[in-house]
Amino acid sequence: MNIDKQLRESLSKALNELYNISIEADNLVLQPTRKEFQGTHTYVTFSMAKQTRKNPQLIAEELGNYLVEKDAATASFQVVKGFLNITVHDQIWSNKLLTISNCEAWGQAPKGDHLAVIEIASPNTNKPLHLGHLRNICLGFSVSNILKKAGFQVRKVCIVNDRGIHICKSMIAYQLFGNEDTPDSIQMKGDHFVGKYYVKFNDVFKKEVEKLVASGISHKEASQNAPILKEAKKMLKNWEAHEPETIALWEKMNRWVYAGFSETYQIIGAEFDKTYYESETYLLGKDIVKEGLEKGVFYQKDDQSVWVDLTDQGLDEKLILRGDGTSVYMTQDLGTADLRYEDATFDRSIYVVGNEQDYHFDVLFKILKKLDRPYANGLYHLSYGMVDLPSGKMKSREGTVVDADQIMEDMIKTAEAHTKELGKIEGVDKQEASALYKTLGLGALKYFLIKVDPKKRMLFNPEESISFQGDTGPFVQYTHARISSILRKAQSTQVPLEFDPNDLTLCTSERALIYLIDEYPAKVQSAANGYAPSIIAQYIYELAKEYNRFYAEVSIFNESDSNNRQFRVVLSEQTAKIIKSGMELLGIEVPYRM
RNA sequence: GGACCUGUAGCAUAACUGGAUAGUGCCCCUGAUUACGGAUCAGGAGGUUGGGGGUUCGAAUCCCUCCAGGUUCACCA
């Protein structure tokens, strides 16, 4: 049992015995004691004042006395106004460390059979991935790792948007201006190659619209009648009619894109258990429409279009099926939700999708609830904000995006330059060195994307490259490398990884470190419950910072008492383990030297 | 116009869900390396938590209202 929980249970008993107040230990909250006061755990007694008709300070003192007398962990206490600050015996801390160090995988919850399906990165096949996709991918994979750590089975899925008018746009542009070029023939990554024609389409389209407007046609009409758009629409019809030539072109260009995507995925470390293609799922959902009509959840208008009325829940009426019987986005998403459940009976299904679709998912989930889907209560939209540039929004049509491949390459190069400047890895062979640059560069990037609350939009300034100091990936990685160095020395000087926990006096930073280490499993749980990787990032940063403080405060190998020396080595070892484990949850590797 | 999201120091971010003097990083200033890694550590400067009301022992947090920015409300995806 962790120390926090033990104290809460004793407090729960105390409240019951002293004041006849019954509060479950799980419902009590202890906060970390602020640095300027003595102790590690603080209980706030103000809220007890009314029920007990006593002043908070007195309550704190009575509780404190009870703990000292009855609770084995409590050594002493200090009361400041309504705050009970508890000091725990050093032996409790050091024994705690011993227990944890004997534990196989601290933080790993027992594996259960609950399944979480998580949809990550749903790219279009008409352009390469950009920084927004990276935010999505980092969040998504991190949440999957965290859920696994918290005991879930996890299934990572990707749905590729490989059909539709926007795909036809790059196809028609290629047909018109491609000159039979291929990614190979002009040495270009396939997704960038296709993206080039998507941009080309929009250039041509824009010019055609301008021309039409100049000849006196309204802008709206012009943008519906631009010749190249008509061509694209024609191509979509051909595609839907399975016209062989169109299908062949479509397949060829999509292959190029997938080759490009998989390179990007490999660098960032993205792997999926299942990939769905919209070309295979876009007709799904029509049977659900029927079902909804029969159940009276949907209704039909005179023109045969099908709607759902959500005005009772503060939303609007929403179209489910067009009057001509063709699908809309919602139809499809209803269908894929069912498909996903048929493929794997999940308890939770998480959609990592940008916040411009908040409303869409709100509606989708409410409809599935109305349809009494057994999985409806496990649905969650992990919504994240846009990534902005100093110049404003990223717009792929206008080419103002931060390209995913480019930013990763830049980060890796920056890491290389920085590492070489510091000159600490001389003697490391080339292959290992370039792996290190990748670890550091991507570590900085991923940490940057994960550490903030997903809901907030974030600003990315390419001019000021992502920092390697302070609250960053490389800071944490550095701490790990530093500890690794200690452990190498411990091994070479044959310091045993064991100590006597009952013969130690700890200093503040040592207690603080064990406190943090002890909290790791609880942090994993709360990150899993809230689908919030930033909790882990914050926690790991705190841990690394505390270690560096410890490192500066005390000496390890110059410590004269051998038991104390060994204790500090074990403490270092355990800290490193958690840093490694926690960074893994964020999808970030950790180096042994840098 | 309706709905939803966001607003904390020059910039970036946190606050255990209502608790102590609002933490932390970048930037700026001052210090620390004969010792285990200075991508580090210690100290300092910088705040009317967008504004105004309210609720109570206590508010960045809850309620009302206004302001700013964003997203969305299509027989688009």
**Å between A554 CA and B33 C1'?**
15
**Å between A587 CA and B77 C1'?**
30
Higher pLDDT, A467 or A569: A569
Residue span(s) of chain A under CATH 3.30.1360.70 come to: 3-88
Is the predicted pLDDT of residue A352 greater than 80, yes or no? yes
**Å between A484 CA and B9 C1'?**
37
Strand pairing partners for A115?
A153
A80: nt with nearest C1' to CA: B20
Q: How confident is the model at residue A255 (pLDDT cuts 50, 70, 90)?
A: very high
A529 touches strand B (CB under 7 A): no
Q: Pick the most confident of A147-151, A218-222, A301-305, A555-559.
A: A147-151
Helices and strands: H and E segment counts in chain A: 20, 15
Is A245 in contact with A239 (CB distance < 8 Å)?
no
Please give the Cα distance from A262 to A275 (Å, whole number).
12
Please give the Cα distance from A340 to A321 (Å, whole number).
21
A484: nt with nearest C1' to CA: B37
A509 touches strand B (CB under 7 A): no
Strand pairing partners for A387?
A458
Q: Pairing mode, if any, of strands A115-119 and A153-160?
A: parallel
A452 touches strand B (CB under 7 A): yes
Predicted confidence at residue A116, as pLDDT, reads 97
Strand B-contacting residues in A 193-232, CB cut-off 7 angstroms? none
Q: Pairing mode, if any, of strands A348-354 and A379-384?
A: parallel
Question: Which residue places its CA closest to the C1' of nucleotide B38?
Answer: A422
Strand B-contacting residues in A 556-585, CB cut-off 7 angstroms? 556-558
Which range is least confidently modeled, A197-206, A298-307, A314-323, A461-470? A461-470
Predicted confidence at residue A391, as pLDDT, reads 72
**Å between A145 CA and B10 C1'?**
37
Report percent pLDDT > 70 for chain A: 99
Q: In terms of CATH, what superfamily is A404-585?
A: Isoleucyl-tRNA Synthetase; Domain 1 (1.10.730.10)
A480 touches strand B (CB under 7 A): no
Please give the Cα distance from A23 to A79 (Å, whole number).
21
Strand pairing partners for A157?
A119, A274
Is A593 in contact with A428 (CB distance < 8 Å)?
yes
Average pLDDT for A546-562: 93
DSSP H or E run through A112: none
Strand B-contacting residues in A 293-352, CB cut-off 7 angstroms? 301, 303, 305, 314-316, 319, 322-324, 327-329
Please give the Cα distance from A427 to A36 (Å, whole number).
45
Predicted confidence at residue A153, as pLDDT, reads 97
Stated pTM of the model: 0.95
A463 touches strand B (CB under 7 A): no
A594 touches strand B (CB under 7 A): yes
Predicted confidence at residue A512, as pLDDT, reads 93
Question: Which residue places its CA closest to the C1' of nucleotide B14?
Answer: A538
Q: Is A217 exposed, middle or buried (0-12, 13-18, 19+ CB in 10 A)?
A: middle
Largest Cα–Cα distance in chain A? Answer: 92
Secondary structure E strands in A220-311? 274-277, 298-300, 306-309
Q: How confident is the model at residue A145 (pLDDT cuts 50, 70, 90)?
A: very high
Report percent pLDDT > 90 for chain A: 79
Predicted confidence at residue A223, as pLDDT, reads 85
Fold of A3-88: Gyrase A; domain 2 (3.30.1360)
**Å between A60 CA and B57 C1'?**
15
- Nucleotides on strand B lying under 7 Å from protein C-beta: 2-7, 11-17, 19-21, 24-27, 35-42, 57-58, 70-77
Average pLDDT for A75-86: 93
Collapsing DSSP states into helix, strand and coil, what is residue A270? coil
**Å between A413 CA and B37 C1'?**
23
A486 touches strand B (CB under 7 A): yes
Q: How confident is the model at residue A574 (pLDDT cuts 50, 70, 90)?
A: very high
Q: How confident is the model at residue A572 (pLDDT cuts 50, 70, 90)?
A: very high
Tell me which residue of A523, A521, A518 sits closest to A535, measured CA to CA. A523
Cα-Cα-Cα-Cα dihedral of A180, A186, A192, A198, to 10°?
A: -30
Predicted confidence at residue A402, as pLDDT, reads 87
Residues in chain A: 594
Residue span(s) of chain A under CATH 1.10.730.10 come to: 404-585
Predicted confidence at residue A457, as pLDDT, reads 87
**Å between A556 CA and B42 C1'?**
19
**Å between A196 CA and B43 C1'?**
54
* Token pair 């099926």 in the structure block, residue: A321
A36 touches strand B (CB under 7 A): yes
* Token pair 């005390």 in the structure block, residue: A554
Predicted confidence at residue A554, as pLDDT, reads 92
**Å between A353 CA and B69 C1'?**
21
Is the predicted pLDDT of residue A464 greater than 90, yes or no? no
Is the predicted pLDDT of residue A487 greater than 90, yes or no? yes
